[in-house]
Amino acid sequence: MYVAVMGYGTVGSGVVEVLTKNHDSIVKKSLHDDIAVKYILDCRDFSAHLDSKKFIKDFNTILEDPEIDVVVETMGGIDPAFDFSLACLKKGKSVVTSNKELVAAKGLELLNAARENNANFLFEASVGGGIPIIRPISQCLAANEIEEICGILNGTTNFILSKMIKDNLSFDQSLKLAQENGYAEKDPTDDIDGHDAARKICILASLCFGNHVYPEHVYTEGITNITLADIDYASSFGSVIKLIAVAKKCSGGKIYTIVSPAIVNNASQLSGVDDVFNAVLVKGNATGDVVFYGKGAGKMPTASAVVADVIDCSNHLIHRKDFGWDASSENYVTDYLDAVLSLYVRARAKDPVKALNSLHKTFDCATVLTRKNAPADEIAFVTPAACERDLLEKIRGIDEIEILSTIRVSEC
Ligand code: HSE
């Protein structure tokens, strides 16, 4: 069986490496006598590469070659990854991708094209890198109604927050360290603003709840405003701050989904997930909580997931596999402000005594937090649980305070 790889970046080159290094054991697990990479599509010059003959620049070479059964898309982005993937599926070639942006935005169209053309569209590597999560949810947990899925889906932000929590480094210092370690990109926006995690929760939510969730419908907050003061207050509350992605079922067939920093209690399984690790907590109505944990990024872990999909495709060239979901209706995702939760608030108060009096008049049972070396005009508290919209209105109604930060308290 012949494979083509589109995009020879970090993941694409890892895929070729794994297919070469583990060639014999991979072939043994497939129904074929051989699995070989025939083409590598990349617009850059690889004439000095050992495999230079495999490098091509014209996508049509792959599309028009009937020997290519499986196409690996590791280009990233939507354009031209979407057009190329769709064209391959329409030709009956299976497509395997690690591209979360593509699956989150265009997964429904690509899954439909795969179904219509008796091919496969597989994307295990798009969430959690090397952590098996797509297949376990679709197959091993198939007997469950999944009620909620939440987790730490971005390694870069988890590394940054871990450095802030454990080493008392500022956000900027931690980001610099993440860049020096090769975790964060030069332009880290997608990670630190939460977009990468939002794409991943879209894929998981679509898979768990059966209808496509688009990134533009996921309210997303990043971690750029988190300060060491917030970290200290969270610690005094027996908690840590993590970037948490959540999707859960609501009444009326709708879902709630959000990506935002959250105060996570030390008793939660997610609280001890540090550095670049990811963890996904799935709540099934038969299994209870199931946690998937591991390295959520990196060349070889991600390539491992891609190659597993290639092997799966090699064993199901004709029969489609139903890794799918349907279209979603308008307003499928609820307004995040309707959710019931508690909020942590840090604020400036010229007269803290007066401010705390007002706070206790506003909320029956707010928890006041303290930290060492806090400025005299700073207060922090956690509200009781209520609808987020109402909480914000009440907090903004406390005249004696200037709000410096609000962070949701996680129930995960
Ligand atoms: N940049 C991502 C992360 C890896 O830090 O988790 C790819 O999704």
Question: Which pLDDT belongs to residue 277?
Answer: 95
- Mutational pocket test of ligand 1: of 154, 177, 192, 274, the residue with most ligand atoms within 8 Å of the beta carbon: 154
Tell me whether residue 21 is one of the annotated catalytic residues: no
Averaged over 80-92, what is the pLDDT?
97
Structural tokens at position 92: 């009956």
Looking at the domain that runs over 2-130+300-314, which CATH code has it been given?
3.40.50.720
Separation of alpha carbons 298 and 313, rounded Å: 23
Q: Ligand 1 mean position to 28 CA, how many Å?
A: 31
For residue range 240-255, list pLDDT tens digits in order.
999 999 999 998 999 9
Of ligand 1's listed atoms, the one at least distance from the Cα of 153 is: 6
For residue range 107-128, list pLDDT tens digits in order.
999 999 999 999 999 999 999 9
The residues lining ligand 1, judged by C-beta closer than 6 Å to any ligand atom, are: 154-156, 183, 191, 196, 296-297
Averaged over 351-360, what is the pLDDT?
96
Q: Ligand 1 mean position to 207 CA, how many Å?
A: 20
Segments making up each domain of the chain, as ranges: 2-130+300-314, 135-295, 336-409
Of ligand 1's listed atoms, the one at least distance from the Cα of 190 is: 1
Averaged over 5-22, what is the pLDDT?
97
Determine how many CB atoms are found less than 10 A away from the CB of residue 216: 11
- Mutational pocket test of ligand 1: of 156, 181, 192, 204, the residue with most ligand atoms within 8 Å of the beta carbon: 156
> Which residues are within 8 A (CB) of 301 and not within 5 positions of it... i.e. 6 or more apart?
129, 130, 131, 294, 295
Of ligand 1's listed atoms, the one at least distance from the Cα of 154 is: 6
Looking at the domain that runs over 336-409, which CATH code has it been given?
3.30.70.1150
Mean pLDDT of the chain: 95
> Which residues are within 8 A (CB) of 288 and not within 5 positions of it... i.e. 6 or more apart?
none
Q: Distance from CA of residue 386 to its chain's centroid?
A: 27
Determine how many CB atoms are found less than 10 A away from the CB of residue 55: 18
pTM comes to 0.96
Q: What are phi and psi of 78, to 5 degrees?
A: -105, -35
Averaged over 259-274, what is the pLDDT?
97
Q: 93, 100, 200, 249: which is the annotated catalytic residue?
A: 200
Helix (H, G, I), strand (E, B) or coil at 162: helix
Of ligand 1's listed atoms, the one at least distance from the Cα of 156 is: 5
- Asked whether the beta carbons of 78 and 72 are under 8 A apart, the reply is no
Q: Distance from CA of residue 61 to its chain's centroid?
A: 33
Q: Strand locations in 250-389, DSSP E?
A: 255-265, 277-284, 288-295, 340-348, 367-369, 378-382, 386-387
CB burial of 226-256 (b: ≥16 within 10 Å; e: otherwise) equals beebbbbbbeebebbbbbbbbbbbeeeebbb
Percent over 70 (pLDDT), the chain = 99
Separation of alpha carbons 72 and 74, rounded Å: 6
135-295: CATH topology is: Dihydrodipicolinate Reductase; domain 2 (3.30.360)
Question: Which pLDDT belongs to residue 321?
Answer: 63
Lowest average pLDDT, out of 58-67, 131-140, 237-246, 338-347, goes to 131-140
pLDDT tier for residue 5 given thresholds of 50, 70 and 90: very high
For residue range 308-329, list pLDDT tens digits in order.
999 999 988 765 666 789 999 9
